[in-house]
Chain A
């Protein structure tokens, strides 16, 4: 009830208008309204009262004037409640009041006290109408008052000169004071408005920053509650529509264990206490990266938070929290490291694959595909008892593993070995669960993946320009032979260099590469050991100290022609004969020997003319190995030599192309 009354009263004196309590100028306006309404209510009532008294006393004009003035203020009262400008009602009140003051001054009153009313006018006029109109009306009343009290016979009573001067003095004093006061207040208002504008701009800037920040930002108080001015991103990241007043630890209940939550609160207290050094606090921040599970369910996400103490003006130390959503970054990092691991595996596999002849590798892949297909059938076939299925699966995996190990695919072999062990354990297990079978299936998936890696690698190797890769192959071959020559020469204290006279491009594509390499390695060693003389010997027979081995690889339509010659001592037919006799490869009775039949003996197993055996040559396997390899590729060899001038081996090896086409037509 009382509140209703109060409300009615407030409504009356504020004209039922709303004023923003946070805006000082609006509150100024509210005071003006209250003042004006008070004036209207009191002044208006007075005017009607005077009017009524005048009517009683029979002063008609006086009564009419009073009531008209009263009505005018009443109009002002209603106008004030409408949307009309304040100043209109202000005039409608202040002007009648001016006339009232003038009239009371003019009338004199008890002991000339009518003048006293006028003293309040400057304050009211300036306050209600503002500086310009207020001082003008107050000036007018002042002039009227001065004239009235100074000029005898003008007013209804005679004022003494002393009184008149005092009245004018006091009026002027009040008038001046009001103007000074209002002026000061106006300056203040101007300053305040400027300050407000600046603050507003700053606040807008900060708000704009906060609202457009990608990361969440907010303050928590000493009870860990989130303060109202949080950034919209914070609500988005934490997946809560309104964070205001929420407890931060409360939001983490689905994400952390109770003990961890306790630690988080302890950590917040440490941040607030400021007794720990910042670096340490950064280091032990329990929320520097954690998986956040919104309490109402929803997608879990990975968040990173950081905290800093902030002093508030009420003496509270709050914590500024910065929250980042790291889900994407962490996911990317994971993907990158997975990619990296895959790359590594590919590289590793590439190194392993490169050593395997592609044709052999094709066979391996076909076999593996076949085995995997078998295993898949077994695992799919529900009629096979699980244990029996595991036995068969084991055999399949083992077969693949054996092949991989033979080809030197370490990584792949290792992988298969692990799976094999796993299946071996299952084999012993009488009751295999569906889970076990599923696990084996997943492991097989992994094998498929590795196999795909191999397939793409083989594809890549093939898709190289054949020229390039084989030029590389030729390059490797020559490097190998140079190394062999160098090693053998340094073991023997000789000086040798390898010269390439001719090298048909792409020739190695069409020749049995591995066999050719072995043959050439043997022949180069042979040349260094048996052909090239020690430097001093060479010098005394007028040769350069460094011996030369020359290699050429060319082709005819269907053969590769490989020539390897040295500028050494040549073959000593006599010593070959002696050696052959001592080894029982020849009998004296065999009569004279042609050079070529003696040369044939060189290729017998166990024949070596070198004095001693070492790692590189002289075990008597050199030329016999050459013979075997040549046989396997259907090649021929011829030896030409000139004593003291050197030896030349000339090989003919059929090209593989014919073989390929033969295979293709078969």
Chain B
């Protein structure tokens, strides 16, 4: 189990930090790569070996959903774990995300417990 590379995609720097800090507090050795738009995230995805993507739903330029569609259309990223991060009132968004190939979803606010649960599921797969 070497260090994992996690791509955090969110247009809000604060949110990215929250996600990173939550992750760090779980003592999982990992490196973070950040992107503030879906477009940027696609570039990062092509230039790095990414193990996990944490993806915000609402972003300018290229939304989370569009990023998801494009990433999944590339056979290289067919099985890449992508976790959508979305706000509470967005059940319908979650369904759309899962339909378009999101591996899982986390409803804001993020906390260690939900992260733990979701990651545990990923390792089972």
Residues in A lying within 8 Å of B, measured CB to CB? 259-260, 263, 266-267, 269-270, 276-277, 280, 284-286
Chain A residue contacts of B91, Cβ below 8 A: 263, 284-286
CB distance from B60 to the nearest CB of A (A): 21
Whether A277 lies near B121 (C-beta < 8 A) is yes
- New A-B pairs, 9, CB < 8 Å, besides A260-B92, A277-B121, A286-B92: A263-B96, A266-B99, A267-B95, A270-B95, A276-B98, A280-B98, A284-B94, A284-B105, A285-B91
Assembly CA distance A259 to B99 (angstroms): 14
Chain B residue contacts of A260, Cβ below 8 A: 92
What number of residue pairs across chains A and B have CB atoms under 8 A from each other? Answer: 27
B51 at interface (Cβ–Cβ under 8 A)?
no
B66 at interface (Cβ–Cβ under 8 A)?
no
Which residue on B lies nearest to A275, using beta carbons?
B98
- A263 in contact with B104 given A270-B98, A276-B98, A277-B121 (CB within 8 Å): no
Assembly CA distance A267 to B93 (angstroms): 11
Identify the interface centre among B94, B95, B96, B121: most chain A CB within 10 Å of its CB: B95
Chain B residue contacts of A266, Cβ below 8 A: 95-96, 99
Assembly CA distance A601 to B104 (angstroms): 85
Which residue on B lies nearest to A269, using beta carbons?
B99
CB distance from A302 to the nearest CB of B (A): 16
Identify the interface centre among A263, A270, A276, A285: most chain B CB within 10 Å of its CB: A263
Assembly CA distance A280 to B117 (angstroms): 11
Assembly CA distance A284 to B98 (angstroms): 10
Which residue on B lies nearest to A280, using beta carbons?
B104
Assembly CA distance A311 to B53 (angstroms): 35
Assembly CA distance A286 to B91 (angstroms): 6
- What number of B residues sit within 8 Å (CB to CB) of A? 10
CB distance from A515 to the nearest CB of B (A): 55
Chain B residue contacts of A263, Cβ below 8 A: 91-92, 95-96
CB distance from B95 to the nearest CB of A (A): 4
Identify the interface centre among A259, A280, A284, A286: most chain B CB within 10 Å of its CB: A284
Interface of A is mostly: helix
What sequence of 0s and 1s flags, for each residue 20-51 of chain B, a beta carbon within 8 Å of any chain A beta carbon? 00000000000000000000000000000000
Which residue on A lies nearest to B90, using beta carbons?
A284
What sequence of 0s and 1s flags, for each residue 77-105 of chain B, a beta carbon within 8 Å of any chain A beta carbon? 00000000000000110111011000011
Chain B residue contacts of A285, Cβ below 8 A: 91
Assembly CA distance A576 to B12 (angstroms): 75
Whether B92 lies near A259 (C-beta < 8 A) is yes
Chain B residue contacts of A270, Cβ below 8 A: 95, 98-99
Chain B residue contacts of A284, Cβ below 8 A: 91, 94-95, 98, 105
Assembly CA distance A267 to B92 (angstroms): 9
Which residue on A lies nearest to B95, using beta carbons?
A263
**7 A-B pairs with the lowest CB-CB distances in the bound complex, closest first:** A263-B92, A263-B95, A266-B99, A284-B94, A286-B91, A267-B95, A266-B95
Which residue on B lies nearest to A287, using beta carbons?
B91
**Option from B95, B104, B121 in Cβ contact (under 8 Å) with A286:** B95
CB distance from B52 to the nearest CB of A (A): 18
Assembly CA distance A269 to B100 (angstroms): 13
Assembly CA distance A267 to B104 (angstroms): 14
Chain B residue contacts of A286, Cβ below 8 A: 91-92, 95
Which residue on A lies nearest to B107, using beta carbons?
A283
Which residue on A lies nearest to B121, using beta carbons?
A277
CB distance from B120 to the nearest CB of A (A): 12
Assembly CA distance A259 to B105 (angstroms): 20
Chain A residue contacts of B105, Cβ below 8 A: 284
Assembly CA distance A276 to B95 (angstroms): 11
Chain A residue contacts of B104, Cβ below 8 A: 280
Chain A residue contacts of B92, Cβ below 8 A: 259-260, 263, 286
Assembly CA distance A225 to B88 (angstroms): 31
Which residue on B lies nearest to A257, using beta carbons?
B92
CB distance from A188 to the nearest CB of B (A): 51
Assembly CA distance A280 to B99 (angstroms): 13
Chain A residue contacts of B96, Cβ below 8 A: 263, 266
Q: Can you report 12 residue pairs joining A to B where beta carbons are below 8 Å apart?
A: A260-B92, A263-B91, A263-B96, A266-B95, A266-B96, A276-B98, A280-B104, A284-B95, A284-B105, A285-B91, A286-B91, A286-B95
CB distance from A283 to the nearest CB of B (A): 8
Chain B residue contacts of A267, Cβ below 8 A: 95
CB distance from B43 to the nearest CB of A (A): 30
CB distance from A284 to the nearest CB of B (A): 5
Assembly CA distance A286 to B94 (angstroms): 10
Assembly CA distance A280 to B97 (angstroms): 13
Which residue on A lies nearest to B100, using beta carbons?
A266
Assembly CA distance A284 to B88 (angstroms): 11
CB distance from A305 to the nearest CB of B (A): 13
Assembly CA distance A269 to B95 (angstroms): 11
Assembly CA distance A652 to B29 (angstroms): 81
Chain A residue contacts of B99, Cβ below 8 A: 266, 269-270
